[in-house]
Structure 1
């Protein structure tokens, strides 16, 4: 088999991309609701502020608002999703459907984040919010199994960086550790809200030997990444796409890494890259121009993620379809990204290893063998006809 033929053998079809075992580390619960669910929950909870009440039209509205280039309109989308997520039943349903949708898309492991402090308007306590979401994830996992899909979902509890509840949320994450919560995160506008404002939360988590990621290097640049790593001690970088600002590509094709970029690569710090979302926020002009291509080539610990599936009209399969088209990625590349993500997850090492060896690698091996079987069968049929 020539190298060109081998390349084609590994080039995945849309169906193979969907069936491939994928790992998702950066997905927001309030950014992935089904439009129909939003409409029904609004009716059930009395939320009267939706811009559209027809599910199809509402889905288009979310995509248009997110693509508008207006930060005000983009943030408005979350006011509607969070607005209908203020009751226990609503949270259970949204979490359940999240797990089902991801499993249907071939995701075998996911870490889904949400901010408990944003779901208290209906009278729930922080603990009730966490327990409702955990219940929904378990229900979704069970329903996925009934439909022939395998998925495990862990929750990341997020604190809003413009607020002052980070330590409280970190303590909450620690209390529900081993009960469905696998780590902590901070999110929100980076500019003007550095992660160092929440050092007490990060110091607490480190003392408790707990895991955390930090949204950094998305809209803001290298200082945000440096602070997240060197002052706060983040295990992963939420987005981290602006690390590209510390990498020089010369006219002759040679590449020079700055000290921070070298540190990130040398320490194997995971980058939770979200291509479609990054295009919406201006981090890249196109998929082909997205830094993930160079970061993959330079062997950074890059991972592929969805961020907000509703707002970006995306899924893990769609993200990989874009990357396959832009960079000619193969099943081998998809496996590389998926193993990277599984290695970087916040569950225990032996459980990560089991997912890699028992689920991810066999899944990709089966997909690769399908093509070879078809080619062999086609060649045999052709030879028989000629004989």
Structure 2
């Protein structure tokens, strides 16, 4: 398959942070408009490289500093509108037909905006971006996920806003931030409220912290999906050895996951439950390499989980920091992990099945856009489950 095939293939994106996907030139222009002088570079290419290199540095403080820079220029309604509009346009140009973009309204209040001001500016920006993308021949639907920060105390307030705006472009709720020391159970009031309101929510879990974070997100909080969830492999064994021990032993064999006899694989109770219940995993391969949650693209757990038929989805996380796109993520899996176009079609349909929009709207995108799009590329695909 060609680069053009990958770009034209319809894609569905469930895990993408709005403050992690700005255009470098937009950051420079917004910084100038608001008088922000803290940028590490004032030329777009140099700034792009700074974000990429900082995210790859292995230094957590330097990685977190990248978000300080993007958030600094996202404190006005005009800035939020522009960033949201360009997000929709950039995703559409990359072949994304449905996206859920997440952001934390509480992180955009420095210059006096209210939480409602933030949400309304972002919603308006997405609608503007959708219209411009459609005019360019790249229709896309973008919905928002309102995120609450794990270390803060606004989760119930943010959850209430997710419900208030759910007919105006907000599809659901999320919590993000450091997992260790900030379990999702600290926000049970928010999750109980959302369940009472029949609202959708995902939880960042199983990225930096392991099985307890996943178990709490599912069993205590009732998450519809898991943000990342890559650490579910902590409950998987190969030849009776923990997956992570086995993967260390084959790290010089890039084809190990593709060639592994699945009869050698054993699922623990939690992993089996996640698979049995078809709980979607919002997996972000390039991002996981930066956070040391995976050794390489070739040995990323997404390939084993795909082969085991977990409900895996493919995502970008932070396009600017990871210097990535959905097409690039797909291309990496094709060239380094042996994925086929049928595999990409399968994870795309997985994502669309797992989206936080009504069933008939999901089905319409699958039947009218995604399947015909892959068929036009010569990939009808097998039946999906």
Common topology (TM > 0.5): yes
Matching residue of 1:314: 324
Deviations 1:311-333 (A, max 9, x none): 00000000000000122222111
Q: Does structure 1 residue 145 correspond to structure 2 residue 155?
A: no
Deviations 1:271-290 (A, max 9, x none): 00000000000011110010
Matching residue of 1:302: 312
TM-score, normalised by the number of residues in structure 2: 0.92
Q: Does structure 1 residue 226 correspond to structure 2 residue 180?
A: no
Q: What does residue range 1-387 of structure 1 map to in structure 2 within 5 Å?
A: 12-250=1-239, 253=261, 254-368=264-378
For the residues of structure 2 that align with 1:346 and 1:30, how far apart are their CA atoms? 21
Deviations 1:82-112 (A, max 9, x none): 0100000000000000000000000000000
Deviations 1:286-321 (A, max 9, x none): 100100010000000000000000000000000000
For the residues of structure 2 that align with 1:299 and 1:140, how far apart are their CA atoms? 35
Aligned partners of 1:331 and 1:368 also within 8 Å: no
What SS is found at the alignment partner of 2:378?
Answer: helix
Larger radius of gyration: 1
RMSD of equivalent CA atoms = 1.1
For the residues of structure 2 that align with 1:48 and 1:192, how far apart are their CA atoms? 34
Runs of at least 4 residues off by over 3 Å = none
Unaligned runs of 5+ in 2: 241-259, 381-385
For the residues of structure 1 that align with 2:6 and 2:276, how far apart are their CA atoms? 30
Aligned partners of 2:299 and 2:337 also within 8 Å: no
Unaligned runs of 5+ in 1: 1-11, 371-387
For the residues of structure 1 that align with 2:35 and 2:164, how far apart are their CA atoms? 33
Deviations 1:257-282 (A, max 9, x none): 00000000000000000000000000
For the residues of structure 1 that align with 2:69 and 2:379, how far apart are their CA atoms? 45
What SS is found at the alignment partner of 2:144?
Answer: strand
Q: How far apart are 1:369 and its partner, in Å? A: 6.6
Aligned partners of 1:66 and 1:311 also within 8 Å: yes
Q: How far apart are 1:167 and its partner, in Å? A: 0.2
What SS is found at the alignment partner of 1:256?
Answer: strand
What SS is found at the alignment partner of 2:227?
Answer: strand
